[in-house]
Amino acid sequence: MGVGVGVVGRVRVAAATVGWLTVAACGGNGPEAGDRAAPARAPGPARTAPAATPTSAPLPAPPPAAAPSVVTAPPTAPSAAPPAARAGAPAAAPEVIEIAYRVERRVDDEATAGFEAFVEQTLSDARGWVRAGFSLVRSEAGPYLIVLAEGPEVDRLCLPHDTYGTYSCQRRETVALNADRWRTGTPQWTGDLATYRRMLVNHEVGHLLGQPHPRPQCPRPGRPAPLMAQQSTELDGCLPNPWPLDHEVAAAARHDRPLAPL
């Protein structure tokens, strides 16, 4: 089935993901859609956000391998599963869900060199979503896509959400990152550029894993911002933070939010 690695236990078809169109454009002041969903085909029980009104948008054809990308395996199976996924997370999350993704850099300037390796390193880092029982595996056959592109292409990939040639987004199986943001960060960001890039990757992939923007954006000024806060434009007194906080890990480890649909 292509993307399953080390699957020993049952295969869970991600029923909760079927039929959802998710859009999350980040960094803007417009209608936020971090948890937006529209019942493109069938509603699911976990969504309560107002329905968006997306139009059909051209996207690259999904990879032919539409095999289940979400699997569960016994906690002892994947070596990539961090101990925290079992020891630090709630006991209700014994499973590890594998997310296989492709990485594409659709720009070629020096400032964006190393994008692919940076993404892979970030998503496999023990401080990241692996803590919540997600095994993010780079694979050329992966059904999810993380792409770095110039603003106009990101805008196209992110439709129907408007990213204004500036913002990044997650739409369905695609995370589209704006190359200018990658090159320079934002004026509001108070950390260094590498940390910004790590935040950007982890934040948008967080949406891919079903995680919404928090409210308020900065619940504890002076402390690290929630990863899922819109840190690109709204640190709001929080410190820049590229990794999911403990409570974000705990929430994601419940595995009860629909993953982005394929």
Q: Which residues bind Zn ion (CB under 5 A)?
A: 24, 26, 34
Q: Rank residues 81 and 199 by Cβ distance to Zn ion and give the closer one.
A: 199
Question: Residue 38 forms beta bridges with which residues?
Answer: 21
Cβ nearer to Zn ion, comparing 23 with 26? 26
CB of 198 to Zn ion, least distance (A): 15
Q: Is 232 exposed, middle or buried (0-12, 13-18, 19+ CB in 10 A)?
A: buried
- Minimum distance, C-beta of residue 150 to Zn ion, in the bound complex (Å): 20
Q: Least separation, in Å, of the C-beta of 234 and Zn ion?
A: 11
Minimum CB distance to Zn ion smaller for 22 or for 72: 22
CB proximity list for 31: less than 8 A, separation 6 or greater:
none
Residue with Cβ nearer Zn ion (96 or 181): 181
CB 140 to Zn ion: min, Å: 27
Tell me which residue has its CB nearest to Zn ion. Answer: 26
